[in-house]
């Protein structure tokens, strides 16, 4: 009998055991064409063996909320067909990176994404709530336009100085950074490469923390659905998958201004 997603064990950053996730769908995922050379570049390997202690962070695939710019928060909505294709493509890119474990947010869209990658890479999956999306409080379930209309002052601050926004029931960027960087440290101590499946806010703050940049630059970090980065904690650099140039250079060239962060 298949095990439900809700029954997946949760890790605390110290112990890891367990089986594969059950199938969510019997359809065969679309596999993107990736050469061995590009895959090795994506995982930072210099030879046939994957580097140890590597940490990758990925954003879940597209959902309906992403299409309408809604703050989905902890909703249980599934991926769209496009979202499933994005994650299948990500799994193909990660194919030669030697992913040994997948840690995922407890939120449904991230767990579905992690399962799809797991199916292709045969890597065990564990739920780690430190990778959950930012808690939006009174904004959860609203579109960006609705938030701007109902919370004009707070939304204006969020678009300009996001690290300074403090709102009852809403998690701060500093709080998100504390939990996601703790998960990254634990993942980096594992003997093999670990993929952390998460959301836009945790991924953005993880990038900024690794690069030693202020959280005020939050809006300048672009994270599309299905995007993935490789974290080099020794060099304090972050590389988009399949790229050799650090995101640090891209952020230096980024133009200031509001950008959608609806998850």
| Cα separation, 115 vs 161, whole angstroms | 35
pLDDT at 146 over 80: yes
Q: What is the mean pLDDT of residues 80-98?
A: 97
DSSP string, 159-204: HH-GGG--BTTB--HHHHHHHHHHHHHHHHTSSS-EEEEE-HHHHH
| Cα separation, 37 vs 62, whole angstroms | 28
Confidence grade of residue 235 (pLDDT, cut at 50, 70, 90) = confident
pLDDT in tens, 189-229: 999 999 999 999 999 999 999 999 999 999 999 999 999 99
Confidence grade of residue 124 (pLDDT, cut at 50, 70, 90) = very high
pLDDT at 175 over 90: yes
pLDDT in tens, 154-168: 999 999 999 999 999
pLDDT in tens, 36-62: 444 444 444 444 444 447 999 999 999
Q: What is the mean pLDDT of residues 19-31?
A: 35
pLDDT of residue 262: 61
């Amino acid at each position: 009998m298949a095990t439900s997603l809700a029954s997946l064990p949760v890790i605390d950053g110290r112990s890891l055991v367990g089986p594969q996730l059950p199938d969510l769908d019997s359809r065969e995922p679309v596999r993107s064409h990736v050469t061995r050379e590009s895959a090795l570049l994506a995982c930072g390997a210099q030879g046939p063996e994957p580097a140890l202690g590597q940490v990758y962070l990925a954003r879940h695939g597209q959902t309906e909320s992403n299409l309408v710019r809604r703050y989905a928060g902890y909703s249980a909505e599934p991926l769209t067909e496009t979202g499933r294709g994005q994650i299948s493509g990500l799994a193909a890119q990660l194919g030669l990176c030697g992913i040994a474990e997948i840690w995922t947010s407890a939120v449904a869209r991230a767990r579905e994404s992690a399962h799809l990658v797991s199916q292709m890479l045969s890597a065990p999956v564990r739920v780690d709530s430190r990778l959950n999306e930012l808690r939006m409080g009174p904004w959860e379930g609203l579109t960006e336009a609705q938030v701007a209309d109902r919370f004009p002052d707070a939304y204006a601050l969020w678009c300009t100085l996001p690290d300074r926004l403090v709102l009852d029931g809403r998690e701060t960027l500093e709080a998100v950074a504390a939990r996601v960087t703790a998960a990254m440290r634990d993942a980096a101590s594992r003997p093999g490469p670990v993929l952390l499946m998460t959301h836009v806010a945790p991924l953005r703050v993880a990038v900024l923390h690794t690069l030693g940049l202020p959280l005020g630059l939050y809006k300048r970090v672009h994270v599309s659905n299905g995007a993935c980065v490789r974290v080099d904690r020794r060099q304090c650099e972050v590389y988009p998958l399949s790229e050799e140039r650090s995101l640090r250079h891209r952020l230096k060239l980024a133009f200031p201004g509001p950008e959608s962060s609806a998850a």
